[in-house]
Amino acid sequence: MALIITDECINCDICEPECPNGAISEGDDLYVIDPELCTQCVGHYDLPQCQQVCPVDCIPLDPDRPETHEQLMVKYLRITGKQ
């Protein structure tokens, strides 16, 4: 699953630079995650880095975008050009 940032976000800007895929950006009111770029850090790290650094734990899995580990790896390969 891709991750989402909930409205508990305090706009601290800690998560954006941690994303190896550039999936996190500043939205109108809070930071947002592009689900087409989010791989939950599969291919880069063992755990999603944004979740690791978030001080308010506002980055859960997006229940509307179920993805398996294998699907996330395929997305990682596509994004990085390592296909």
**List of domains in the chain:** 16-80 (3.30.70.20)
Question: Of 81, 24, 82, 83, which Cα lies nearest the Cα of 51?
Answer: 24
**Mean pLDDT calculated for residue range 11-27:** 96
Per DSSP, the three-state class of 52 is helix
Q: How far apart are CA 11 and CA 14, in angstroms?
A: 8
Per DSSP, the three-state class of 67 is coil
pTM to 2 decimal places: 0.92
Give the rounded percent of residues in the chain with a pLDDT score beyond 70: 99
Helix and strand element counts for the chain (H, E): 2, 2
Q: How far apart are CA 51 and CA 15, in angstroms?
A: 8
Q: How far apart are CA 1 and CA 28, in angstroms?
A: 23
**Mean pLDDT calculated for residue range 22-31:** 95
Residue 83's pLDDT is 67
Residue 77's H or E segment, with its range, is: helix 69-80
Q: Which of 5-14, 52-61, 74-83 has the lowest mean pLDDT?
A: 74-83
